[in-house]
A and B are shown apart, each in its own frame.
Chain A
Amino acid sequence: MIFSIYIINKAGGLVYNKDYSEGLSKLTSNEYLVLAGTFHGVHAITSKISPVPGSSGIEMLETDTFRIHCFQTLTGTKFLLVADPQQPSIDMTMKKIYEIYSDYTVKNPFQNPEMPIRSEQFDVHLRGQQQQPL
């Protein structure tokens, strides 16, 4: 089960967030922004405090009730996927989301890069992707 999706731009700003199912506490939009900023900072630090050289930032955060998977694109945009610990094939889902993002956001001439994403097409396709079995 996918709880929510967040997209963080390369500066640490939250450009998209969507909750798909109950299970996490509801936050105010301000708290979501703080959360995105915190994660962005922590992501940068985790690569610094690696005991072995050459580590990336945080890729998966594990808790009792959920997991946060993070995928960073080459351009620095981060996709955060909050999912059930038992959720299978996260990599596939992540890839699919990135694909949808490229198709309906990056290729959209009316979308300013690094700005919040308001695109109905993007919403619809993301939701459709959640419902179809992999």
Chain B
Amino acid sequence: MIYNMYIFDRHCQCIYYHDWHRGHTAKTAFDTHGDPLASHPSGGGGGGSTTTTTTMTDPRQGMNMSLEEEGKLVYGVVYSLRNLVKKLGKNQDGFIAYRTSHYKLHYYETLTGLKFVINSDPNVESLQQALRQIYTQIYVELVVKNPLACASVTSGQVNPETMGAEGFRNGVDRFVRSLTMFDT
């Protein structure tokens, strides 16, 4: 079972989010809201107040934080673990995945510092190869080679909507749904 996926850029910004099996009851409520990342607060100013309001209205059951906050936490976790592993493992990058009682987080980092993170149920074998494929076959083809998406990335301000051009979102969706462990 595959739950959700994040992509972070070098500036620790979550540039892509997609979920599949994340709380079946909450999913429909989610869809009516459209793309969760589209509701990015535009002004950095009233950060405190926006987060508290989103906490109240967040449709996901059992989760009491906004997607933006959650993205930051996920980034923090993989960043810390990567550094920890690097320190212990003689300066080699080697973080592959971690497992808890309810989920398993798989990690893949490109040489350019792009971080791909996918959550699945704990019994799934390593998905690092799949993440690599998403990078080489979908991200490179549909985002890196897409002049419109690149323009927004280099300007420093990453807009998740232009970056996640529909083609990319559909490509990832199709790819993940084709994995054998998607539904089992």
What is the interface of chain A, defined by CB distance below 8 A to chain B? 24-25, 27, 31, 35, 38-39, 41-42, 45-66, 82
A38 to B87, CA, bound (A): 12
Q: Contacts of A66 on B, CB cut-off 8 Å?
A: 88-89
Are B96 and A63 in contact, with the CB atoms below 8 A? Answer: yes
What is the interface of chain B, defined by CB distance below 8 A to chain A? 3-4, 19, 21-23, 61-63, 65, 70, 73-74, 76-77, 80-81, 83-85, 87-92, 94-103, 105, 119, 126
24 contacts between A and B (CB under 8 A): A25-B88, A25-B89, A27-B87, A27-B88, A35-B84, A35-B87, A45-B76, A45-B77, A46-B105, A48-B65, A49-B73, A50-B100, A51-B103, A52-B23, A52-B102, A54-B62, A55-B101, A59-B98, A59-B99, A59-B101, A61-B85, A63-B95, A64-B89, A65-B94
B63 to chain A, nearest CB (A): 7
Q: A53-B23, A56-B102, A62-B126 are in contact. List 14 more A-B contacts (CB 8 A).
A: A38-B84, A39-B84, A47-B100, A49-B73, A49-B77, A51-B19, A52-B23, A58-B100, A59-B99, A60-B98, A61-B98, A61-B99, A64-B89, A64-B94
B96 to chain A, nearest CB (A): 5
